[in-house]
Structure 1
Amino acid sequence: MITTALSATVHGQALHPTPIARRELLPDDVDVRVTFCGVCHSDLHALHTPPEQGGIFPLVPGHEFVGEVVAVGSSVIDFAPGDPVAVGNIVDSCGTCRMCHAGQENFCTEFPTLTYGGRDRVDGTVTAGAYAGRYVVRDRFVYHRPTALDPAAVAPLMCAGITVWEPLRTSGVGPGTRLGVVGIGGLGHLAIRLGRALGAEVTVFTTTPAKVADAQRLGAEHVVISTDDGAMEDARSSLDLILDTVAVAHDLTPYLRSLDLDGTLFNLGHLGPVRVQATDLLIGRKRLASAGSGGHRWTQDLLNFCGEHGITADIEVLPAAEVNTALERLARGDVRYRFVLDLSSLHEPRQ
C-alpha cells in the first residue's frame, strides 16, 4: 500500500511530502487513516541526529496519533472499519517474554518495535512514523479512543500522557498523595491534570514565575519557583512522589530533598546520565526511578480515565504543510503545550 508521508530523505533536510510503502495487512494488522499526530521532542531529536551518531534516514517522524480504522486483518476481532482509535510509540513486541506477558510491552526484553526508526518484526524494514496519511499496526497496539474528547487533543496522551500516567498508577497516587511535578511542558501539564483528577494534592516546581497562573489553572494547589532558595527550603520533605518532566540535564538534588520519608522521584524528561549523592537517597530512605511509554494495560486505562474525566492535552493544531514551522517553534519552546498536525491533506480520496 502506498501513502503520502512527511519525510526527511537525508539528515538536515526539511520534511516534505513523499510517497512511502506500508506493508499489506497481516491477519492481526489494523490499517489506520491518521487524522492527527502530535509533535514530540523525540521527533526533533531523531531529525537532528546525524547517521554517524545513530540517526536513521530517510525518516518519517510521528509516534502519538489518532485516526479511524480503514480495514482489519482476518484475525482481528476488537476493531472494525470506522472505529475511532489511537496509537502510541510502540507498534509491536515479541509477545512472549516476561514483560510482554505482564502487559508491559514497553519493557519487552527483545526491545519493542518503535513507531518510527524501529525494526519491523515481520519484514525487517525500518518503521516509518505517523506524519502520514495511513499507518499499518499490529492490533495489540491499537487502542479504543473516547469519542467524547477532541481527537486532536487526545493524540499527545499517547506519548506525553502515558509517560506520566504509568508511574502515577503504579505508585498508587490518589486522595492523600502529595504529588510534585517539575516543569510545565508537554509531560508536565498532563501530569498536573491527571494527578489532580486522581485526587492528589499537586505541587508544581517551575523556574518561570509567569507560569504560576497556568499551573494553578491546570490544577496545582501549590507552585514553587525553583530558583528561589527560600521557597525550595520550605518545600523540603513535603512530598510523597515527584515526577520530574524537564527535558534537559539538571540537578536532581533539590527535588530529592523535597521528598518525605520513603518518597520516590521519577526522572522522566531527561534520560541521559544523572549524578546524585548517595546520602540524598539514604536520608529518608528515598528512591530514584524512571519510566517510559506504557504497556497495553495502562495505555487503555489512561484513555478510559481521560474519557471519564474529560482530560486532554492543551494543543495548537497546525496543518501538515506547516510541519517545519511546528518543529522550529518547538525547538525554541514556543508552544503551550503540544503541537498537533492535521494530516487530512495527506489522505487519499475515499473510495
Structure 2
Amino acid sequence: MGHHVTVISSSDKKRAEAMEHLGADVYLVSSDEASMSSAAESLDYIFDTVPVVHPLEAYLPLLKVDGKIIMLGVINQPMQFITPMIMLGRKSISGSFIGSMAEVEEMLEFYEKKLSSTIEIVTLDRINEAMERLEHNDVRYRFVVDVGGSKLEP
C-alpha cells in the first residue's frame, strides 16, 4: 500500500521471515545500537505489540518530529521513560485495545484482500506446551487457542 515498513525485534531470528514473507523494507534488532542509531528519526509511527514491560528509550529516537508510539500490547505494570525524549520532537504515546464494532468492520472490509496474519492455532490439549514455548520465546508472532475445535471431556 506504499508504506515503508520497518520490523523491530529483540533478535535476528525472524529477519528472513519478516523480509521475505511479511514484506518488510527494514529489519532492526533492538539490541544492535548501530542499526538503531542509523534508523534515528526515520519512523512516523511505531505499533508496539510487546505484551511485557520493556524500556521505551530505545524506540523513541526512531520517531520523526510528531511521531507516535501506539501501544497495542497489554502491560499490567507501570512503564517508565524520560520525559524530554517525548517533549523534544513533540512525540506521543497512545494506546488502543480495539475500536468500535463499526470501526473494526470498516478496517476488515478495507484490508480483506490485502492483509494476512501469521498465527499458530493450538487446541486446549496443547495449551501447556504452548505456555512453555511462550516462556522460551519460541512463538512466531501469536498463538490462537481453538476452544471450539478442542475435544474437551466432561
TM-score, normalised relative to structure 2: 0.82
In the alignment, structure 1 segments of 5+ residues that lack a partner are 1-197
Look up the match of 1:280: 85
Q: In percent, how many aligned pairs have the same letter? A: 36
1:230 and 2:68 correspond:
no
Look up the match of 2:132: 328
1:319 to 1:337, Cα distance in 2 relative to 1, 3 A = same
Q: CA deviation at 1:293?
A: 2.2
In structure 1, distance between residues paired with 2:16 and 2:122: 26
Q: CA deviation at 1:342?
A: 6.1
Look up the match of 2:51: 247
In structure 2, distance between residues paired with 1:210 and 1:245: 17
Is the 1:317–1:342 Cα contact (8 Å) retained in structure 2?
A: no
1:218 and 2:30 correspond:
no
1:305 to 1:332, Cα distance in 2 relative to 1, 3 A = farther
Q: Deviations over 1:76-129 (max 9, x none)?
A: xxxxxxxxxxxxxxxxxxxxxxxxxxxxxxxxxxxxxxxxxxxxxxxxxxxxxx
In structure 2, distance between residues paired with 1:274 and 1:215: 27
In the alignment, structure 2 segments of 5+ residues that lack a partner are none
Look up the match of 1:337: 141
Look up the match of 1:178: none
TM-score, normalised relative to structure 1: 0.39
> Tell me, what secondary structure is at the counterpart of 1:210?
coil
In structure 2, distance between residues paired with 1:223 and 1:335: 18
Cα RMSD over matched residues? 2.2
Look up the match of 1:7: none
> Tell me, what secondary structure is at the counterpart of 1:293?
coil
Is the 1:249–1:270 Cα contact (8 Å) retained in structure 2?
A: no
Which structure: larger Rg?
Answer: 1
Q: CA deviation at 1:237?
A: 1.0
Q: CA deviation at 1:306?
A: 3.4
Q: CA deviation at 1:255?
A: 1.1
Look up the match of 1:101: none
In structure 2, distance between residues paired with 1:276 and 1:339: 30
In structure 1, distance between residues paired with 2:111 and 2:57: 33
Look up the match of 2:105: 300
| Larger relative contact order, structure 1 or 2 (CA cutoff 8 Å, min sep 6) | 1
Query: In the TM superposition, what are the counterparts of 1:151-300 in structure 2 within 5 Å?
Result: 198-216=1-19, 217-271=21-75, 272-300=77-105
Which amino acid in structure 2 is aligned with residue 202 of structure 1?
V
> Tell me, what secondary structure is at the counterpart of 1:253?
coil
Q: CA deviation at 1:296?
A: 0.8
In structure 2, distance between residues paired with 1:313 and 1:289: 23
Report the number of matched residues. Answer: 149
